């Protein structure tokens, strides 16, 4: 798919990776770039048309799909991470919020825009996932569960929409240098680098982006995950809990 001349919609475009995605689409010549956010005044990137959208609100999703009937490229970037464990979280609120946004919200957007894309020649959907689509880290366990569900969703809609010529791209990355990972002391990849890789994949017709070395290692290790991935995580977790009840 060619980005030049396309009409794109990016969710969560008010900051971080969404802002970088919108900027890169403008730079590559998209005819129109809609940038959505719960508070559209946060969408300030030059050349981007701001729209109000909470992807967990079905009515808003329907209205935006009707309003943006010219879209040929949907970038599902909006997401939330609550850094919640499975067992020790005080309640299920964080897990429900993550699943509602990262899975059900993304699903709602795919459902609403699938016929729009079909009417405009097929186009493409990009779903922003995570390295934690592939494994569970107890520090953000329920977030990983929502992204694993998003990975399954992405693979499923790719199959369902193949007949209409819609490219469906899964983007997996580790820590990105955005507000979401601001408190993390670990190597991070720049939002602009991820945005460039996403656009390259769209134009090359690639179905998957593994945006950094950590993500490439984890994906390659999946056949031996209980040897290569989980033992160091368990060691870290046990050490962190040492001496606690």
Instruction: At 96, list the tokens.
Output: 């429900």
* 169 contacts 206 by C-beta, under 8 angstroms: yes
What pLDDT, on the 0 to 100 scale, is given for residue 240?
Answer: 87
Angle between helices 58-67 and 106-119 (to 10 degrees): 20
190: how many CB neighbours lie within 10 A of its CB?
Answer: 13
Q: If you count DSSP H runs as helices and E runs as strands, how many of each does the chain have, helices first?
A: 9, 7
What pLDDT, on the 0 to 100 scale, is given for residue 98?
Answer: 98
What pLDDT, on the 0 to 100 scale, is given for residue 186?
Answer: 72
The pLDDT tens digits along the chain (245 residues) read: 999 999 999 999 999 999 999 999 999 999 999 999 999 999 999 999 999 999 999 999 999 999 999 999 999 999 999 999 999 999 999 999 999 999 999 999 999 999 999 999 999 999 999 999 999 999 999 999 999 999 999 999 999 999 999 999 999 999 898 766 555 667 779 999 999 999 999 999 999 999 999 999 999 999 999 999 999 999 999 998 886 65
Global pTM reads 0.94
Q: What is the DSSP letter of 30?
A: -
Phi and psi at 202, nearest 5°, equal: -60, -50
Q: Hey, is 182 helix, strand or coil? A: coil
CA 7 to centroid of chain Cα atoms: 19
What pLDDT, on the 0 to 100 scale, is given for residue 177?
Answer: 86
DSSP string, 62-83: HHHHHHTTT--EEEE-------
Catalytic residues: 143
Cβ burial of 89 (10 Å; 0-12, 13-18, 19+) is middle
Cβ burial of 228 (10 Å; 0-12, 13-18, 19+) is middle
Phi and psi at 31, nearest 5°, equal: -65, -40
Structural domains in the chain, CATH included, are 7-241 (3.40.50.720)
């Amino acid at each position: 798919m060619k980005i030049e001349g396309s009409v794109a919609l990016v969710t969560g475009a008010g900051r971080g990776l969404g802002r970088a995605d919108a900027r890169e689409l403008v730079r590559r010549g998209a005819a129109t770039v809609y940038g959505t956010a719960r508070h559209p005044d946060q969408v300030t990137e030059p050349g981007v048309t701001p729209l109000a959208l909470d992807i967990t609100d079905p009515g808003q999703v329907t209205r935006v799909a009707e309003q943006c009937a010219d879209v040929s490229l949907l970038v599902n970037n909006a997401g939330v991470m609550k850094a919640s464990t499975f067992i020790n979280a005080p309640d299920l609120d964080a897990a429900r919020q993550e699943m509602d946004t990262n899975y059900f919200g993304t699903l709602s957007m795919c459902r609403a825009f699938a016929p729009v894309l079909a009417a405009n020649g097929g186009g493409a959907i990009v779903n922003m996932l995570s390295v934690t689509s592939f494994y569970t880290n107890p520090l953000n366990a329920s977030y990983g569960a929502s992204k694993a569900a998003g990975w399954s969703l992405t693979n499923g809609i790719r199959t369902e929409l193949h007949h209409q010529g819609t490219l469906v791209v899964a983007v997996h990355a580790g820590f990105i240098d955005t507000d979401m990972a601001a408190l993390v002391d670990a190597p991070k990849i720049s939002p602009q680098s991820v945005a460039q890789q996403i656009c390259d994949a769209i134009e090359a017709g690639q179905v998957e982006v593994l945006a950094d070395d950590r993500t490439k290692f984890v994906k390659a290790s999946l056949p031996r995950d209980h040897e290569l991935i989980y033992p160091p995580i368990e060691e870290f977790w046990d050490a962190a809990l040492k001496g606690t009840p």
